Amino acid sequence: MNNYLYKQFFRNRGNLAALLLLWLAGTVGIYTGKRFLERNEDIIAKSASYQQQSIAKNVALHQDNMGLLLYYLKFNFVNETPKLAALNIGMRDLNPSIQGVTIRNLEEQKHNSDFYNPANAAAGNFDFSFVLVFLFPLVIIAFCYNLISEDQEKGTWKLLSVQSGNLRRLIDAKILLRLLAISVVYLILLLTAVIWIGIPLDTHLLIYTSIGWLYLVFWFVLCRWIISFQGSSAQNALVLVVCWVAMNFIIPMSANLIFQKIYPVKEGLEAQMAQREGYHNKWDEAKAPTMQQFYKAYPQFSQYKVGENVGSSYVWYYAMQHAGDMEAAGAAKAYDQQLKHRNDAAILLGYILPNVQTQLMGGREAGTGMENYLAYGEALQQFHEAQRLFFYPLIFSEQRAGLVDWSRQTVKVFSDSRKSDPLQLFLPYLFFITLLFVLSNQKFKKLC
């Protein structure tokens, strides 16, 4: 019987065409990710060269004016992009993987990336995760929607009932055969990505592979449950397509509108405005309050005094820059907090929608999700602070630029230490797979 089912499935040209189309779509998705990585690596490589050239050029122009030199110099900070990001680009196309900052105010520089080609956000990326989440289920639906109804509509169902000792076993054999075919295509695509892109064989790849495969199993079990009601082929196809549309579009979009209402994210712009106002207002205010605030934050620089009648002072200028960041700190913290709330809400949504779970957890393992974005923002702030603390003494004591070993000012890299919680990763899949399997078994008892 199994040999017959195997021949029946693979002799169907429609089935072979669907598998081939899925493979082609997956290959295009992998190619998209590969091109993204290449562009990313090219930008990072060029930025390192540009930073060295910029330092050499500006040092030559401003040998005797360290304060003015540091006004212009930008130092690049890279958000490391794992190879696995090629399979799940996530937020990396909207949030640059490298950012250059001066030692002046940080908030305005940090949130400049918020205004980055909104057309990309609308179009999205045809990466491998898109193929996995959206296209694989459609092929699974096409394979499974008429496993029972086709025989009923042809009039061969009663004959199968007589010839087969266990109809449920027969149906499960058909489903397992299709699961095997889909799994082979899935694993071939992942193997292609590993070889073609050079993705390391580590825990992150194993987890990514596992959650993707469990997502495919979920769709097979969902189909098993739907066809167990013994509806017509048209009814089964309609119900499954409605489930696909609801899960991938209606529910996530509705939830996103709710999240936007509950957690409005407008503080990125507010932080910029607060920083600018906080800085520019200092030109018209007394110097003493600004310096007191600066000395409170950096008591080690309290020996650098600034008189009220001093016309120009780099100590006062950089203290103003710091004051702008301090006044924007509340709005900046609120901005990050709202983003975290939204991400937490999306994670909760993933507990009931396996497609959302697959996208979020895949992005986490690939280092392209919201957690990475927030962690990089925090690391960027620490990097900026370290640069300030290194150069402030040189500026305030009016050192010459030639005394600094500029070769040590290389591009710094942030590596995200991603920790995975197996319970959070796999439990939603296992729960729904088990639930749907048990529910469909209850329906299948009536067939046997």
Structural domain containing residue 418: 1-448
* Whether the Cβ atoms of residue 81 and residue 444 lie closer than 8 Å to each other: no
Q: Which pLDDT score is estimated for 122?
A: 40
DSSP 9-35: HHT-HHHHHHHHHHHHHHHHHHHHHHH
H-run or E-run covering 108: helix 107-110
pLDDT band at 413 (very low <50, low <70, confident <90, very high): very high
pTM of the model: 0.91
Sequence-ordered list of residues with C-beta below 8 angstroms from that of 75, at least 6 positions apart, any chain: 51, 100, 101, 102, 103, 383, 387, 409, 411, 412
* Stretch 24-47: mean pLDDT: 95
Q: Give phi and psi for 399, each to the nearest 5.
A: -75, 155
Q: Which pLDDT score is estimated for 116?
A: 41
Q: Mean of the per-residue pLDDT values for the chain?
A: 89
Q: Which pLDDT score is estimated for 120?
A: 42
* Stretch 54-63: mean pLDDT: 94
Region of poorest pLDDT, from 39-53, 150-164, 170-184, 368-382: 150-164
pLDDT band at 309 (very low <50, low <70, confident <90, very high): confident
Q: Which pLDDT score is estimated for 277?
A: 65
* Stretch 12-25: mean pLDDT: 96
Domain count of the fold of the chain: 1
pLDDT band at 72 (very low <50, low <70, confident <90, very high): very high
Q: Which pLDDT score is estimated for 103?
A: 94
